[in-house]
Structure 1
């Protein structure tokens, strides 16, 4: 609703939305410089322990998929 004199009150204490996460495509294909956040995530993924075939199977069998039904794993 306009304030007195026809001016609009604009709320300035609302935090700005976080910028979108940088993608691997933006870095490799588009030639963007990787952000610190991107490099931290990349290093975490590179240093994560590998999962066994049994663990991967367990995760796949417990994933409900798009329909949310655990009886039909993806």
Structure 2
């Protein structure tokens, strides 16, 4: 799941995957509200769960999103 999240963020922000941090706030690499809305939509489709913008914004790290999604799918 970590790799999939990194790929989605990389593609959405237009940055190389190796520049997407795992446990650092993604705002530091250019995450903004429009990109986050797009990511929320992609994750909702991918995992067939309602992934809310506010839940992603509460902890804008790959690590946090991974934990959030694992809780939603288990």
Is TM > 0.5 for Structure 1 vs Structure 2? no
**Which of 1 and 2 has higher RCO (CA within 8 Å, sep 6+)?**
2
Task: Looking at secondary structure, tell me which structure has more helix per residue.
Answer: 2
Q: Specify the TM-score bucket, using the shorter chain as the normaliser.
A: under 0.3
TM-score by length of 1: 0.27
TM-score by length of 2: 0.27
